[in-house]
Amino acid sequence: MQRLPLPTTKTNLLRVKEDLALAREGRQLLDEKRDVILRELFSHMDEMRQTRREAAELLAQAYRALADACIALGRDQVARAALAAPAPPEVVMHERSLFGVVLPLLNWNVAGTERLWSLFGTSIELDLARRNFLAAARRLVQLAELEVAFQRLAVELRKTQKRVNALQNLLIPQYRETAAYMEGSLEEREREDMFQLKRMRERQSGGSGWKPSAA
């Protein structure tokens, strides 16, 4: 592992140790974030399967009821009854944040019990078709919310894993090796300085006791 290109000084050693502590703390936070996102992904996956299955069942029921209504009333009468139905409301979107990941909250409220046409010239199959189509639409809105959230969480999970790998396999080993190298170099430098100081003192001590010999 290549060390960081920093001069070996005590100041840089302290700075590298601080960066190493921050990197380890950041890795721990990213590990926690990754675990939370994984739990959310698995939860969304199960809920998506259930919602998709319910939407498909409701759509199948709605189309069967619509087909029965067409048989009982005729296509023209069903089309005239459909003209009485107002346009559905727009989907309202809010947002929530999970570890910085913006997730959508979709809201789609439409009344499904109010009568839009008279009893004359319609049938129970037509009411059932409308009710099931509205229920299926609600499930599809829920499914869209889940799928968008799932995609965003999956993207964020990949980013988080890349950051964890970078810290674990690159930055933390670099900081650790640089700190160890600096500590060893500074200790060796201190030993050399102490050795030189000791020799200097010995020379000074020997020189002060020297006396010239008598002629």
The pLDDT tens digits along the chain (215 residues) read 678 888 888 899 999 999 999 999 999 999 999 999 999 999 889 899 999 999 999 999 989 988 988 888 888 888 877 777 677 778 888 998 888 889 999 888 765 545 565 555 567 787 888 888 888 888 999 999 999 999 999 999 999 999 999 999 999 999 999 999 988 888 888 888 787 888 888 788 765 544 555 54
Q: Which two tokens stand for residue 30?
A: 């990213």
Measured at the alpha carbon of residue 43, what is the angle toward residues 139 and 62, in degrees to the nearest 5?
Answer: 15
Cut 0.75: pTM above it: no
Rg (CA), the chain: 38
Using DSSP, state whether 107 is helix, strand or coil.
strand
Positive/negative CA dihedral, 111, 116, 118, 121: negative
| Cα separation of the two ends of the chain | 68
Judge: domain 10-199, CATH 2.40.160.40.
no
Upper half-sphere CA count for residue 126 (Cβ side, 13 Å): 26
The pLDDT value recorded for residue 35 is 93
